[in-house]
Structure 1
Amino acid sequence: MGKVSTVSALGPTLGLDIGGTKLATAMVTPDGRHHGLQIAPTRREDGPDDVLRRLFDLGRASIDAAGLGSPWAVGISCGGPLDALAGVLECPPHLPGWLDIPIADTTSREFGVPTVLENDATAAALAEYQFGAGVCARSLIYLTVSTGIGGGSVIDGQLHRGATGNGGELGHITVRPGGRHCTCGRRGCLEAYCSGTQIAARAAEAVALAQETGRRTELAGIEPLTAAHVSQAAARGDAVAVDVWQETVELLGQALTDLVNVFEPDVAVLGGGVTRAGAMLLDPVAHIVRANAMGREAEVVRLELATLGDVVGVVGAAAVAWDRLGASH
């Protein structure tokens, strides 16, 4: 309740979440509850003007459905690269053609209230800290394991943003020097191995090798192959899937151990689509962290799955608006 009380003087805020496949909007009250949730396909091929028009229509539908009056502010959650302080989407790869879009100013004009923009994983970290798995924590690190791997951290109650506002790229720590190419241009990043996209890519490579050597696997012939197929086949004991999944949890556990050693959080939270594997992901990763983290941190840190699910983006967007704008109200 202590964390909620810090924003209780602020008003219901409109959260807008822009993903590569879906848009989500909702009014969020200072207790972290969402109202009037609206979800629609992004249809990113339509371009920024059309997508933003539909996003704003969804936002107005959320305002009407929530019945809470006009929003106190608007928060926007979106993948980067972006300039959070300027409110500009620079060139997010999940939104091809979106170059230097001044989305905060455009949204402020649309709704007549202040608007803030934040990286989606950073916003999710604050949402889980305020209202989810980190409610009782003082410090939290958050990894979203999905199409890519993003992250964020709250240290001693303060959201970490870094010198230029883009701090928290936890998915781009090196786990295999000189290893697989990553979308960031480097080699061997955590994202290049443990994102949902790369789990599937590594599995496809393993299937091709198995077929060359006469090794049987139930993953053969599945198109398109996904991380969920890999985790499910591994749970059934498929040897090829087990190898891929074992490497995944080992590298994720290695990365989390390093992060725990650096930040010493009360809780480390895993979110994103890959975490639908549940205990099959969390349990071995937690075992690795507890076996390898330094000192008492191995005993103290809790590893949790995110609790806010599909609404973490809209709740996080509102939480960031309260965090950034609250001091001036």
Structure 2
Amino acid sequence: MTLGDHVLALDIGGTKLAAGVVGRTGDVRSFVRTPTKVEEGPETTVKRLLDLGRDALAEAGRTAGEVAAVGIGCGGPLDPVTGRVQGPPGLPGWDDVPIVDLVEAAYGRLAFLENDATAAVLGEYHYGRWGGVRHMLYLTVSTGVGGGAILDGRLYRGAAGNGGEFGHVIIDWNGRLCGCGQRGCIEAYASGTSIARRADEALAGGEASSLREAPVVTAETVSVHAGRGDPLARRLWDETTAALGRALAVMINVVEPQLVVLGGGVTRAGDALLLPVRRAALSQAMRPAGAAGRVELSVHGDTVGVVGAAASAFLHLDDSTGAST
């Protein structure tokens, strides 16, 4: 393991924090995670993130001085140039947090900040082994819904560095209130947070369901009970996959990607999510666009966030030296 071959990657999510040491081929040498506990606020959470990074280094048998840089993935909005997190809906209180400065001070290494889903599409593109794809979209379906795009083999960041906010594609302009302040975003229907919230609302309204037996209702709970045939859980799950499929059809029409990759915690449901979403997306897209594309699950599972953050760090390092990715 040489210095330029590995980076420390940090993944900041609304539900979990994750860290790992990752190599240039996408090989994950260590991986650790812990609940985010957003209620504790950014100062305490950042301290726990930094400690988690040290745990990842120790698990890989390395010190901070033995990695080339630190990649940081976090839900947007954020400013990758100044390295500041700017109030993501899933991280209350994270207003103008100078995360890059804090990470660089802690580890003594250069650090790079990227929207987590933007980083993830880069990780999927380089390390997903999808075979010659030039146009790719990635959606993370987790606490929130985020996205990233590779267009003609190049990462798309947009004018302000947050391009690809697919979670805020509006599918019902008069619909549910989203954490971003708008109504009808796909995040308000397909995120793990929304799935659980809609279930809680239905239970509070008196609907009968086996979900009442669960100590805490989560997206995974809804998925499991839907698979067992519970009518309420089945309806909620069908609404979720229909909404996500419809949003993907819109994105496919706009971009005409060869591949859409889904990742994030909600995708642990596997084919129960993938198959209906794929069917809805490709059947509702315009015929040429739908025929040209496919919809798949990430090959990286729970490590997709750290793999993406690492891919972003390597891209920044190579850009600074003029090397090719």
Taking structure 1 as the reference length, the TM-score comes to 0.88
1:155-178 CA distances to partner (integer Å, 9 max, x unpaired)?
111111110111111011111120
Residue 120 of structure 1 is matched in structure 2 by 116
Assess, with a 3 A threshold, how the Cα gap between structure 1 residues 250 and 41 changes in structure 2: closer, same or farther: closer
Q: How does 1:146-185 map to 2 (within 5 A)?
A: 146-185=142-181
Residue 292 of structure 1 is matched in structure 2 by 284
Question: Could you list the runs of 5+ residues in structure 2 that have no partner in the other structure?
Answer: none
Counterpart pick for 1:226 among 218, 223, 226: 218
Give the Cα–Cα distance (whole angstroms) in 2 for the partners of residues 127 and 285 of structure 1. 22
Partner of 2:210, secondary structure, is coil
> What is the deviation of 1:267?
0.8
1:169-225 CA distances to partner (integer Å, 9 max, x unpaired)?
1011111120111111111111111112212222333345564xxxx4323454432
Give the Cα–Cα distance (whole angstroms) in 2 for the partners of residues 133 and 236 of structure 1. 34
Residue 3 of structure 1 is matched in structure 2 by none
1:117-162 CA distances to partner (integer Å, 9 max, x unpaired)?
0111211121122112645421111111112111111111111111
Tell me which amino acid in the other structure corresponds to 1:25.
A
The alignment status of 1:51 with 2:45, answered yes or no, reads yes
Give the Cα–Cα distance (whole angstroms) in 2 for the partners of residues 108 and 172 of structure 1. 31
Aligned residue pairs, count: 318
The answer to whether the 8 Å contact 1:81/1:89 transfers is: yes
Partner of 1:296, secondary structure, is helix
The alignment status of 1:278 with 2:270, answered yes or no, reads yes
> What is the deviation of 1:305?
0.8
The alignment status of 1:258 with 2:250, answered yes or no, reads yes
The alignment status of 1:16 with 2:5, answered yes or no, reads no
Q: How does 1:57-72 map to 2 (within 5 A)?
A: 57-67=51-61, 70-72=66-68
Residue 326 of structure 1 is matched in structure 2 by 318
Assess, with a 3 A threshold, how the Cα gap between structure 1 residues 11 and 299 changes in structure 2: closer, same or farther: same
The answer to whether the 8 Å contact 2:90/2:144 transfers is: no
Residue 303 of structure 2 is matched in structure 1 by 311
RMSD of the alignment, in Å?
2.4
Give the Cα–Cα distance (whole angstroms) in 2 for the partners of residues 219 and 65 of structure 1. 38
Deviates more, 1:168-177 or 1:44-53: 44-53
Tell me which amino acid in the other structure corresponds to 2:234.
V
The answer to whether the 8 Å contact 1:210/1:217 transfers is: no
Partner of 1:24, secondary structure, is strand
Partner of 2:11, secondary structure, is strand
Partner of 1:31, secondary structure, is coil
Assess, with a 3 A threshold, how the Cα gap between structure 1 residues 48 and 222 changes in structure 2: closer, same or farther: closer
Partner of 2:96, secondary structure, is coil
> What is the deviation of 1:279?
1.1
Tell me which amino acid in the other structure corresponds to 1:202.
R
Assess, with a 3 A threshold, how the Cα gap between structure 1 residues 28 and 295 changes in structure 2: closer, same or farther: same
Partner of 2:305, secondary structure, is helix
Give the Cα–Cα distance (whole angstroms) in 1 for the partners of residues 224 and 35 of structure 2. 27
Residue 99 of structure 1 is matched in structure 2 by 95
The answer to whether the 8 Å contact 2:282/2:294 transfers is: no
Assess, with a 3 A threshold, how the Cα gap between structure 1 residues 61 and 94 changes in structure 2: closer, same or farther: same
**Max radius of gyration: which structure?**
1
Counterpart pick for 2:22 among 24, 28, 32: 28
Partner of 1:100, secondary structure, is strand
Partner of 1:147, secondary structure, is coil
> What is the deviation of 1:51?
3.5
Counterpart pick for 1:110 among 85, 106, 110: 106
Give the Cα–Cα distance (whole angstroms) in 2 for the partners of residues 47 and 177 of structure 1. 32
Tell me which amino acid in the other structure corresponds to 2:128.
G
Assess, with a 3 A threshold, how the Cα gap between structure 1 residues 202 and 22 changes in structure 2: closer, same or farther: closer
The answer to whether the 8 Å contact 2:253/2:286 transfers is: yes
Q: How does 1:165-244 map to 2 (within 5 A)?
A: 165-209=161-205, 211=207, 216-244=208-236
Residue 88 of structure 1 is matched in structure 2 by 84
1:284-312 CA distances to partner (integer Å, 9 max, x unpaired)?
11112222222333223111011211211
